[in-house]
Amino acid sequence: MKTTTLLASATFLAASSALAGFRSAPCADYRPGEISVAGSVDFSIVAGEANEHVFAPKNSAAEYAKEFGVPYEDRRHQISRLDWDLAAAMIGFSGSVRYDRFSFNGGVWGGGSGSDDWEMEDYDWMDGDRANYTEYSRSDTEITSAWMLDANVSFDFLRDENFVSYLFAGMRWQQWEWECAGRNDYRYSELKGKWYSDIAHVCDYRQTLYFAYIGIGGTWKLTETLDLSAYLSWAPAYAGEDHDEHIAAEKDFKDTFDYDGGNVYAGGVTLGWHVAEHATLSFSLDWQKATLHEGDLKLMDYGSGEYSEVPDAAGYENEYVALSCGFTYAF
């Protein structure tokens, strides 16, 4: 996937220019017994991959296990998997309001990839053989829009002159939207062999997730002008939806995911450089992984006019790294 190229460029950017955080963080000054406020603007390069899954219905599990001689718990036959490059440049605006050791933090980020230089890879298993796919295609794609809203409350439970450690809890909402152009579309089939196609607009895909999380973080004072921060967070479950509109095939997939599955793990480090009394430049690396979550699939076939709903036949997940630079001003 082409996101490896983006990660290489972003790593070079981090080494040669100012880079900030892809999250809401307690950045207002600590003033005992007083209220303080801070605002930030951040520029981020996000690179990773989102995965879209279609599974065989669960009511076919016993039959499949018997036919292929596998344990029942290994029954889930995957019908399809689409791997979408998650590549975007984003700008974020966030703020922090602090009273003593408590801080409320929130922000919004938005952006897109700006080109169709990225890829979507589609794997299909049409014969029940889970080890080898029977159909494959690779198409040009771009992220047409990317959004994130993040808000949390933090509490400094340990503080001295050179170190502060805090606990935090919050909510995050994210949405990624792709357009698959189909130009230079490479296809492979065990039955048909290899060929190229050139379809103006193959499909659109949107992935949305939201979750509540908890975490712990800390900031170390390295020198009079440099700070180093780190954090870890975890969400025990997440919910959301995805929508895959197959324009060329005249099929529409809408999947829903209840708040009963998947996990979201995140972590990051930030180097802060205090360039003036109230102004800080920050350079960050953030990582997030949403594990596989299964949900209900709704399929509308506009060609035949047929509509179907299949419980627990859909799945999605994603993982990304964000390299950022930012500027914070404390009032």
CA–CA dist 54, 72 (Å, integer): 19
**Cα-based distances in Å from 331 to 26, 38, 122:** 14, 6, 50
Q: Which amino acid is at 125?
A: W
The one-digit pLDDT tens for each residue of the chain (331 residues) are 665 444 443 333 332 222 347 888 888 888 888 999 999 999 999 999 999 999 887 655 556 555 555 554 555 678 899 999 999 999 999 999 999 999 999 999 999 987 778 889 989 887 765 567 888 888 888 999 999 999 999 999 999 989 999 999 999 999 999 998 765 566 666 656 665 666 667 789 999 999 999 999 999 999 999 999 999 999 999 999 999 998 877 889 999 999 999 999 999 999 999 999 889 999 999 999 999 999 999 999 888 888 988 888 999 999 999 999 999 999 8
Whole-model pTM: value is 0.86
CA–CA dist 55, 315 (Å, integer): 8
203's CB contacts (< 8 A; 6+ apart) are 180, 244, 245, 246, 247, 248, 249
Q: Which amino acid is at 295?
A: G
Q: 207 in helix, strand or coil?
A: strand
CATH class for domain 3-330? mainly beta
Domain boundaries, the chain: 3-330
Neighbours of 98 (CB within 10 A): 23
Q: 6 in helix, strand or coil?
A: helix
